[in-house]
Structure 1
Amino acid sequence: MGDSFVGARSEFGFAHSNGGLPAISVVVPCFNEQDGLDELLRRVRLSVQACFAHDYELVLVDDGSRDGTWARMQAAASADPHLRLIRLSRNHGHQLALTAGLAAAQGALVFVIDADLQDPPELLGPMAETLRAQGADVVYGLRRQRKGETLFKKLSAAAFYRLLSRSADIDLPLDAGDFRLMTARIAKALVAMPETDRFIRGMVAWIGFKQVPFEYDRDARFAGETKYPLREMLRLASHAFMGFSMLPLRFAAQISALLFAIMLIVIVYALVSWLFFDVISGWTSLMILISFSSAMQFAVLAVIGEYVGRIYLTQKARPLYIVDQVIGLAPAALADLGRGQRSPLNAGIWPGPSEQAR
């Protein structure tokens, strides 16, 4: 790990070079998680305090929840000075909510976990020990089993990770989600990356440094329903392939090459028939060929259009997210959150000082 981490303020020996900042930040994106929030906080607190005593912060990001998640967060924050709350203006999606939390995190280490408790927070201790023992910058969770998930989701996830890994330009670990422990320099580098369509686990792999797996069994969701239905899974897969693989463009090129080969065969067949046989060309085969070629042309144009559209959205340089409220964040965290938002802090977005820090 880098030289920016010195001292020993916990049993694992991680401390920030700037005194007063926490040894670890736990970042949790939340969307409609009111039923499981209390259990999440209880288990996370126990796990973090067992490893880092009271030298920590919990960064909860409300991604535009439509239930009582924000009210539950506020109630918890009123009794716990370790909580840092961020409320986004709408549902921006899991990856952008996670980016907002990473931008505000001030710890020497950053622990990323989902609010559904499928990834056990009790694994923080073993993961921190692995990070220390191997001198790594990232310890990512590698799923051995996925409890409580349908056969379709298990099979589709396995196929997605393997296809992406084979086609990506970087080494992407199989069966790894966003559950991971990382050093602050990884988190800051991640936030600084300009992508609008973000695939966090791929971006972490792209950053590099030493990254090691930690095998575990994923639990069933504690409460509520999944926030990743088929539509969101397809959207995430699209971000992954468009952001880390040239497979769509290469597929279009391969199809074009195949069509060209078919056209050569058809031309040879037509010439031979014209020279040696008294054959009247049929319009059926011609129409089939024209229709097929036209369809593939449109498919290729659609792939190119998707890339052009993403370039267009990136060039507009809109904020990754818009923050509605924050509670408990220090000025340094506010500044970092503003940079991640790609816009200056202003009174129209940010609440008064009484809510920023107590």
Structure 2
Amino acid sequence: MPAFPLPIPRLAIVVPCYNEEDVFSYCLRELLSLLDSMAQEQMIRADSFLLFVDDGSRDTTWEQISAACSEHACVQGLKLSRNEGHQSALLAGLAAADGQADAIVSIDADLQDDTTAIRRMVEAYRAGYDVVYGVRECRQTDTWFKRTSAEGFYSLMACMGVRQVINHADFRLLSRRALAALLTYTERNAYIRGLVPLVGFPSTEVRYARGVRMAGESKYPLRKMLALAMEGITSMTITPLRLIAALGLCICGLSLAATVYVLVMTFTGNTVEGWSSIILSIFFMGGVQMLSLGIIGEYIGKIYLESKKRPRFHVESFLRHNAPSTFQTQDTISSRPHLS
């Protein structure tokens, strides 16, 4: 940790957006106000900026981002060529901010995460922390099902040995060197919440109460939550494969015991003809085999996708104040090895 506070940083706030036309104006206004007040208080440099990433939105989100870039010098816009998903959009924004800022904060456009916590994140950064996690200490605005399922997921990941900060999503601050380290992870199926703890460097937490969504609908319905959970498990741990092996060993042991029992009953003449036990055993073993094949197939699918080395995303436009699509900058972003 440094003996003295670090210099005032240039801050970048990266905001992934997908069909956020209803909430974008509120998000822009809140974050611009935050940047202005923090710059006036000399917490951040005056040339700090916002970077909005349009993840292939089908509404007017990109038009609003483009207008904001024209109107405000501190706003940048990155448009992906198609919808790639939240994690890829976030990585695209982080990659675009790499080298432009000393500290990079990521936050969702719905602003359910408390923007005032960014002040404490910057203070922690200046105190010497490279990674500052935003941790939800109060989730009363979430439904009972969402709170319960989230707690169950964190517990499951912990049991499988995955290092993950409980009640932390993608609201965090990364220093320049922490971001550079994160971008060296090149897997196509990235689970950022699990990758950031692997980066190391000094880290701390900032706790806050989660608010309500100001407008629009959540972009994480149950289907996407389950997909993210599966992505996290299969990307960060091979424990499910080991559980399959353990289950197979247990079934072999039970089968051996059942074989001994059947032989004893046969020799003593106490066997009773019937089909119930046979049918139940067939269904049981069939279910176990299908489940095992499904889990193994998920991992094989990951290997298949990673072996192709396809890029995570393609950038269609990169806008800054009073500048149209900057194709030179776009090509620079697209060609960086750690973005492939």
* Correspondence for 2:17 among 17, 30, 46: 30
Check 1:79–1:341 CA distance in 2 against 1; reply closer, same or farther (3 A cut): farther
* SS of residue in 2 equivalent to 1:121: coil
Please say if 1:322 is aligned against 2:314: yes
Amino acid at match of 2:241: L
What residue in structure 2 maps to residue 221 of structure 1?
Answer: 213
* Correspondence for 1:249 among 238, 241, 250: 241
Amino acid at match of 2:254: I
Deviation of the 1:264 alpha carbon: 1.5
Cα distance in 1, alignment partners of residues 21 and 335 from structure 2: 27
Amino acid at match of 2:220: Y
* Correspondence for 1:210 among 202, 206, 226: 202
Q: How many residue pairs align between the two structures?
A: 327
* SS of residue in 2 equivalent to 1:75: helix
Deviation of the 1:61 alpha carbon: 0.3
Cα distance in 1, alignment partners of residues 12 and 225 from structure 2: 27
- Aligned runs of 1:1-358 on 2, under 5 Å? 13-15=7-9, 23-49=10-36, 50=38, 51-105=43-97, 106-133=100-127, 135-169=128-162, 171-328=163-320, 335-339=332-336, 342=339
What is the TM-score of this pair, normalised by structure 2?
Answer: 0.90
Deviation of the 1:243 alpha carbon: 1.1
Deviation of the 1:202 alpha carbon: 0.7
Structure of greater relative contact order (alpha carbons < 8 Å, 6+ residues apart):
2
Q: Deviations over 1:174-232 (max 9, x none)?
A: 11111011101121222221111111111101111111111110111111010000111
Deviation of the 1:97 alpha carbon: 0.2
Deviation of the 1:310 alpha carbon: 0.6
Cα distance in 2, alignment partners of residues 216 and 330 from structure 1: 39
Q: What residue ranges of structure 1 are gaps of 5+ in the alignment?
A: 3-7, 16-22, 344-358
Check 1:40–1:338 CA distance in 2 against 1; reply closer, same or farther (3 A cut): farther
Amino acid at match of 2:335: G
* SS of residue in 2 equivalent to 1:104: helix
Deviation of the 1:340 alpha carbon: 6.4
* SS of residue in 2 equivalent to 1:97: helix
CA contact (8 A) 1:48 1:124 kept: no
Deviation of the 1:79 alpha carbon: 1.0
Deviation of the 1:305 alpha carbon: 1.1
Q: Deviations over 1:122-142 (max 9, x none)?
A: 221111112222x21101011
Check 1:12–1:36 CA distance in 2 against 1; reply closer, same or farther (3 A cut): farther
Q: Bigger CA drift: 252-261 or 82-91?
A: 252-261
Check 1:295–1:238 CA distance in 2 against 1; reply closer, same or farther (3 A cut): same
Cα distance in 1, alignment partners of residues 70 and 329 from structure 2: 21
CA contact (8 A) 2:186 2:339 kept: no
Check 1:124–1:278 CA distance in 2 against 1; reply closer, same or farther (3 A cut): closer
CA contact (8 A) 1:137 1:211 kept: yes
Q: Deviations over 1:248-294 (max 9, x none)?
A: 21221222122112202211110110122342443331232133112
